[in-house]
Amino acid sequence: MQTNFELKRHNTMKIFQAMRSRESVSRKELATLTGLSWGSVSAISAELLQKGIAVAEKEASAGGRPAERLALSPDKFLQLGIDINSVGLSFVVVNLQGKAVYSELLPIESRDKDDLLTLLYAQTERILLQTPSVIGINLSMQGKINKKTGVSLRTNFFKAWKDVPLVHSFERRFSIPTKLYHDPDCLLYYHMQNDPRLSGKNDGFVVRLDDGIGMSRLLGGRLYERGDDASYELGHTIAVPDGRACACGKRGCLEAYASLRGMREIYAEKSGEKAASFPEKLRTGDGLAQAVLREACDRLGVAIANLFTLSAPEFILLDGGLFAQAPYCFDEIEKNTRARLADDCNLLFAAYTREAPAIGACLITVEKTTEEILFGL
* Chain positions contacting Zn ion, by CB under 5 A: 236, 246, 248, 250, 253
Q: To the nearest whole angstrom, how small is the minimum distance from the Cβ of residue 330 to Zn ion?
A: 24
Q: To the nearest whole angstrom, how small is the minimum distance from the Cβ of residue 190 to Zn ion?
A: 26
Q: Is the dihedral of CA 105, 109, 113, 119 positive or negative?
A: negative
Q: To the nearest whole angstrom, how small is the minimum distance from the Cβ of residue 157 to Zn ion?
A: 13
Could you tell me where the beta strands, DSSP code E, fall in 9-77? 25-26, 54-58, 68-72
Residue with smaller CB distance to Zn ion, 154 or 354: 154
Q: What CA–CA distance (Å, rounded) separates 102 from 284?
A: 33
Could you tell me where the beta strands, DSSP code E, fall in the chain? 25-26, 54-58, 68-72, 78-85, 88-94, 100-106, 134-141, 144-146, 151-154, 162-164, 178-182, 204-209, 213-219, 222-223, 315-319, 347-349
Residue with smaller CB distance to Zn ion, 257 or 330: 257
Report the DSSP beta bridge partners of residue 244: none
Sheet (strand 162-164) strand order: 144-146, 151-154, 162-164
Q: What CA–CA distance (Å, rounded) separates 362 from 138?
A: 6
Q: To the nearest whole angstrom, how small is the minimum distance from the Cβ of residue 252 to Zn ion?
A: 8
What pairing do the DSSP bridges indicate for beta strands 204-209 and 315-319? parallel
Report the DSSP beta bridge partners of residue 317: 206, 348
Residue with smaller CB distance to Zn ion, 8 or 250: 250
Residue with smaller CB distance to Zn ion, 217 or 236: 236
Residue with smaller CB distance to Zn ion, 143 or 320: 143
Residue with smaller CB distance to Zn ion, 78 or 209: 209
Q: To the nearest whole angstrom, how small is the minimum distance from the Cβ of residue 301 to Zn ion?
A: 19
Q: To the nearest whole angstrom, how small is the minimum distance from the Cβ of residue 241 to Zn ion?
A: 13
